[in-house]
Amino acid sequence: MRAANRREQVDRAEKQELVSTLHDTFKTTGVVVVAHYSGLTVADMTAFRGRMKEAGAQVKVAKNRLAKIALEGTDLAHMAPLFEGQTLIAYSDDPVAAPKVATDFAKIKDKLVVLGGGMGQTALDADGVKALASLPSLDELRGKIVGMIQTPATRIAQVLSAPGGQVARVIQAYADKGEAA
């Protein structure tokens, strides 16, 4: 009897820790995607987790009841109805990373069905997640901005160096002409 009681206390402590961790995740993350994963193989889930990790996102499978408890008191509380059936959550600080990987993976593995998600107080349905996935990621945007900044600098350098080059060619031409005379 004591062993069973002790096991319940351990289970309860583990559940409380999981709820606390999920609650912190829901409060601090940029975007959360909820999806059904029924029918995915272990290899599929491993591949999915790997792609998420490469993109800077994470995946968790949690009991729906515990996820709903963790949602309480967060901006994402509106997502509670999505937690029905075998669900997983994918989340990232980058508002595009998790939706992009989840949507792309769902295209090749029809067993992964994106249900919706949330970004702060904004509720996202499946189409909203797809719309986010179509946006460029923060890294892509940073690259474009750096390119835009560098392009004018390159042009300015070309314009400034062009007259100097012309002057040098004119001087060289006079020097060549003087030597010929």
- Which pTM was predicted? 0.70
How far is the C-alpha of 98 from the C-alpha of 96, rounded, in Å? 6
Whether domain 2-135 has CATH 3.30.70.1730: the reply is yes
How far from 72 is each of 33, 39, 117, 160, CA to CA, in Å? 17, 29, 15, 61
How would you list the strands of the sheet with 87-92, edge to edge? 57-60, 87-92, 31-36, 113-119, 122-125
Q: 136-181: per-residue pLDDT in tens?
A: 777 777 777 777 776 666 666 665 566 666 666 667 777 777 766 5
How far from 82 is each of 43, 85, 108, 111, 125, CA to CA, in Å? 25, 9, 22, 17, 10
Place of tokens 């029924």: 38
